[in-house]
Structure 1
Amino acid sequence: MKRLVAILFVFLILNELSSFAQELITYPAPASVIYTLHNDDYTVKVRKPGGQWQDLFEYNVKVDMDKPQDASMVYFDHSGPVEVAVRKNNGGVQSVNVRPTSYGISTRLQGNTVFFTLAKPSKVSVEFNGDKLHNLHVFGNPIETSKPDPKDPNVIYFGPGVHEPKDLPGDSFTIPSGKTVYIAGGAVVKAKLVCDKVNKVKIMGRGILLQPQRGVEVRHSSNVSIEGIIIVNPKHYTVYGGQSDNLSIRNIKSFSVNGWSDGIDLMSCSDVTIDDVFMRNSDDCIAIYGHRWDFYGDVRNYKVTNSILWADIAHPINIGLHGNTEKDGEVIENLSFKNIDILEQDEDDPDYQGCMAITAGDLNLVRNISFEDIRVDDFQEGQLFNLRVVYNEKYNTGPGRGIENIKFKNISYNGSNLNPSLIKGLDERHSVKGISFEGLTINGEEVANNVANKYMMIGPFVKDVTLDNKSIVVTHEQGSKKANLNSN
């Protein structure tokens, strides 16, 4: 009898754990924004496998500065698999694609409704008939495990509903040291959050910062974490960091459509973790610089992992343009980018192409950078990588010092719009050296050393470029505008 009771007890415990593993949480939109923020292009529902369907609120988000378009976004929390149903409400359906392609998500189309399963919390783009400008962004978050107590005096709590500063709507909330800012699911905050000369601040939750001047400013601060929130169409940067250290940015989602509306821009910041972010921006998604404005100092020790970057214009990743020419220059070093999906680059100006761009200017020395397991879907126009020492008269007051020791490992591109990548120094004293490639793959085929020049142009003042441990011959010749991806 005791044995039977023990077995039943274990069964009940396992059943409870299984129920928790299948948890699903949805968030209604505030009543006051239902008519102003809704996009009715799609009807989206989610459920636990075999459970009841739950309707989601489809938010409107603006994308693509070239010609701003209305796309859609939904969000929810879950653990364990969740089934998603998306009905296209306008026009017929010829095809549907769920990206990133690397996720390998299979779909079932029934009329104008597509069904698919997210095996774990994921961020995906659902695209009908190849349309990437009016697509649906689906954000499945992990279940929150450490919600703060709203009654805690060190917690600034924004519950479900709309919030904006009383004195100047749309301006800012200033966050003191030691505070936790919690933006609950179903909350919309119409303001930027400012961390200026503070320490030990947490910004977290599932809610939305809507159309602020900037999303979050971190200036001259330390030990600031930003996690879980969504930033929709700021007028300027999503996260603006200056001369700060020990920053953690996790699971944020961003859309921007204005000029200079970069995603995460960090000037003279060090010891930074960026993980599991989704950045769709009409300028650089992630930009890392030295000195700019009132921020000074070297840059080092970044880990950027497990993220999705979508640059409607400019670069998904941009490093090194701005720095300090007042003295001896600054160093940008020890940056790691790993397990990243790049879904778009659309940049007409060759000076600003490159999904992975290092453009060293303003006496910056950029060194010890690694890119590993980076998957690039087909884009409209751009380059896979661009490494240059420059003196850009529009932005610089001096040339960069150099680029050294850059490693690319397991980089892949699938598509047909690839311009040849570029590696180029400025002169003998401002050169590029020590660039290695391992496992570079184009359309499923690994690039061999003897055809590497088909995909990249190596300009003057470049030394020691290798592919799979073999030297690549320096060409000094400009390739064709489009790489010939079909030739042998």
Structure 2
Amino acid sequence: MVEFFSVPSIKDFAEPVNKDYKVFINGRECPVYDARSSAVPYNGYNDVGAAFQRPKNQSETAAFLRVTADEELRFSVEFAAAPADCPASVLTGAKKSLRTPAVVRPLEKNVSVKETGNRAEFTVTEAGTYIFEPYGRHCALHVFVDAPRVYDKEGATMYFGAGLHFTGVINVKSGDRIFLDNGALVYGSILAHDATDVKIYGNGVLDDSYEVRITPHCYEDYTKGNIRLYNCKNVSVEGIILRDSANWCFSMYECEDIFIDNVKIVGQWRYNTDGIDLMNCRRVNIENCFVRSFDDSICMKATEGFKGDVTDISVKNCTLWCDWGRTLEIGLETACDEYARISFENCYLVHNSAAALDVQGGNYARLHDISFKDMAVEFEYGALPEQMQTSSAEYDAKGGVMRPALIAVGNPAMIDMDMYKYLFTEEQLADPRRGTVENARFENIRVYLDEGVNMPASYVRSFYEGFEFKDIVIENVTVNGKRITAEKDLNLTIERVKNFSLK
């Protein structure tokens, strides 16, 4: 059985079909849709003209398709010699063409590609997310393969069938069941305050492209993003695709007992479009998801404006692509007593920016009992360097390349950073406390470097006397299959750490 995701057209308004790709699966043509993504790593605010709105010419058109199948899938992909919508600013120096030998990521999936001109063939044998890249990291084709699953649509309190729906903000109350059926494209946001026993599920798309961001930060609900939950309990979100958020894509504040499964986040290109943010949350499970974000991909935060610690969080079996910032992150905001029992397991990090595996105690919390285990981390050649946009000037890489960190553990104080000081009172700015990290493990980390890529840096360091880290273990790191046992080979910096071990 093979079933395609397809949005029925409506007169005078049709979901645009992607121009770069034509895809056949087991001999049948599969619909391919647009998912606008960031073309250059240029984040911040445009303070000239339309405040908080990112110019569209900093983005490019990527593509996605979704297929449900219980059999082997044979792909035949026709792709343009050059992508139709990619800004000239990504063509730097001597690189006048984006065309590269095509690959399918994650690399560990071992999907071989046979190319003939501008046609490629490959076979997928199991469910998961696959990314076909004939232009390097630009204008990629995201392939979502799901195993067959039967949802209980009869129990839905809000049902969105195949077709286009213009809802605006969907306000959720306790007991709601929101179902997006196969072929449903819902233009709107989901917002909940103080709701319990909620389910958001299905195979449809929730698209936030009509929302305009109106505030500089992302904590309040003036701008909703795709999904925003405040003080909610017992919520599950399963199966849906989230696209084109106005700021943080899927964010939760003071929430408990949250289950997120098989959610796909794609088409995030506007300023600060984090993937999944947990703010002062407890007992959250995130699994089998794909996140491509233009800022931190999955992030756990705590700020002065919300209450409660960050505890008992599990992230596993996810595929992640970070176009800016940090891929798996604890922090930077850590204004609570403790972060505890947080685990990341069996994830593929296919593209990274500032850092891949990140723990940053930016406030005063004690961060402890943290693990990153069984991670496959990829670093590609020629990634463009991050820059902050503070004017209308266009992005200019100036011949530079991005050098992401592999492992980053630190405690840079937010109150010492000019860009964050507006968030704090005078009393908070005078707070002498700093964050600490204890009992953190990085185990079975498999690194894949493209040809010509140097070993990324790693660091475990406290910046402050009297706030030392302790009991940090890095065990079984391999780089292109070779095990690393020396600090110099890991390009590792260690400062103010008690009981550090590299095995």
In the alignment, structure 1 residue 425 sits paired with structure 2 residue 462: yes
- Give the Cα separation in 2 of the matches to 1:269 and 1:361: 17
1:402 is aligned to: 436
Contact 1:73 1:138 in 2 (8 A): yes
Verify the 8 A CA contact 1:44 1:58 in the aligned structure 2.
no
Q: Distance in 2 between matches of 1:45 and 1:155?
A: 36
Give the superposed CA RMSD: 2.0
Partner of 2:343: 336
For the 8 Å contact 2:9–2:15, the answer to whether it is kept is no
Q: 2:438–2:471: 8 Å Cα contact kept in structure 1?
A: yes
- Aligned residues of 1:339 and 1:374 also touching (Cα < 8 A): yes
1:113 alignment counterpart: 119
2:64 paired with 1:73: yes
* Cα shift at 1:94: 6.0
Q: Tell me which residue corresponds to 1:195.
A: 192
Q: Deviations over 1:87-140 (max 9, x none)?
A: 113359762101100001122334422122211112111011x52111111111
The residue number in structure 2 matching 1:28 is 6
Compute the displacement of 1:40 (Å). 0.9
* Higher deviation after alignment, 411-420 or 274-283: 411-420
Q: Residue 38 of structure 1 aligns to which amino acid in structure 2? A: V
Note if contact 1:383-1:418 (Cα within 8 Å) is conserved in structure 2: no
1:245 and 1:41 map into 2 onto residues whose CA distance is: 42
The counterpart of 1:179, out of the listed 166, 176, 179, is: 176
The answer on whether the counterparts of 1:275 and 1:305 sit within 8 Å (CA) in structure 2 is: yes
How far did residue 417 of structure 1 move? 4.2
- The alpha carbon displacement at 1:58 in A equals 2.9
**5 Å matches for 1:88-99?**
88-91=79-82, 95-99=101-105
Q: Which residue of 2 aligns with 1:142?
A: 147
2:488 corresponding residue in structure 1 = 453
Contact 1:305 1:339 in 2 (8 A): yes
| Aligned with 1:311 (options 318, 322, 328) | 322
Alpha-carbon distance in 1 for matches of 2:411, 2:374? 25
Deviations 1:240-262 (A, max 9, x none): 10001111111111121111110
Q: Following superposition, which runs of at least 4 residues in structure 1 exceed 6 angstroms of deviation?
A: none
CA distance in 1 between counterparts of 2:304 and 2:204 reads: 31
Distance in 2 of aligned mates of 1:230 and 1:36? 15
Kept in 2, the 8 Å contact 1:289–1:332? The answer is no
CA distance in 1, matches of 2:20, 2:413: 46
Which residue number corresponds to residue 38 of structure 2?
A: 63
CA contact (8 A) 1:148 1:155 kept: no
SS of the aligned residue for 2:108 comes to: helix
**Which 10-residue stretch deviates more, 392-401 or 409-418?**
392-401
Q: 1:296-333, CA deviations, whole angstroms, 9 ceiling, x for partnerless residues?
A: 10111111111111111100011132133xxxx42011
Ranked by relative contact order (alpha carbons within 8 Å, sequence separation 6 or more), the top structure is 2
TM-score (norm 1): 0.82
Q: Percent identity?
A: 24
**1:262-311 Cα distance to aligned partner (Å, 9 max, x none):** 00011010101100111111100011012353x21011111111111111
Q: Does 1:274 align with 2:247?
A: no
Task: Read off the aligned partner of 2:292 and give its amino acid letter.
Answer: R
TM-score, scaled to structure 2: 0.79
Q: Distance in 1 between matches of 2:175 and 2:203?
A: 21
1:383 counterpart letter in structure 2: A
Alignment partner of 1:386 is 2:415: no
| Residues 445 and 241 (structure 1), Cα distance of their counterparts in 2 relative to 1, 3 Å cut | same
Counterpart in the other structure of 2:301:
289
Residue-pair matches, total: 420
Contact 1:271/1:301 (CA < 8 Å) preserved in 2? Answer: yes
1:359 pairs with 2:360: yes
Mapped contact 2:115–2:121 kept (Cα < 8 A): yes
In structure 2, what residue type is equivalent to 1:402? T
Q: Does the alignment pair 1:439 with 2:480?
A: no
- SS at structure 1 position matched to 2:246: coil
**DSSP 3-state at the match of 1:102:** helix
Q: CA deviation at 1:215?
A: 1.0
Q: In structure 2, what is the equivalent of residue 252 of structure 1?
A: 263
**Displacement of 1:359 after TM fit?**
0.6
Distance 1:411 1:305 in 2: 14
Task: Find the aligned partners of 1:83 and 1:308 in 2 and give their Cα distance.
Answer: 22
Secondary structure, counterpart of 1:367 in structure 2: strand
| Structure 1 segments unaligned to the other structure (5+ residues) | 1-22, 166-170, 347-352, 469-488
Aligned to 1:220: 231
Q: Which amino acid aligns with 2:137?
A: K
2:128 equivalent to 1:122: yes
Structure (1 or 2) with the larger CA radius of gyration: 1
Match of 1:131, SS? coil
Gaps of at least 5 residues in structure 2 are: 43-57, 83-96, 212-223, 384-402, 422-428
1:241 lines up with 2:266 in the alignment: no
* Counterpart code for 1:341: Y
In structure 2, relative to structure 1, the CA distance for the partners of 1:418 and 1:282 (3 Å cut) is farther
| Matched AA of 1:161 | G
Aligned equivalents of 2:201, 2:25: Cα separation in 1:
24
Flag the 1:71–1:205 CA change in 2: closer, same or farther, 3 A: same
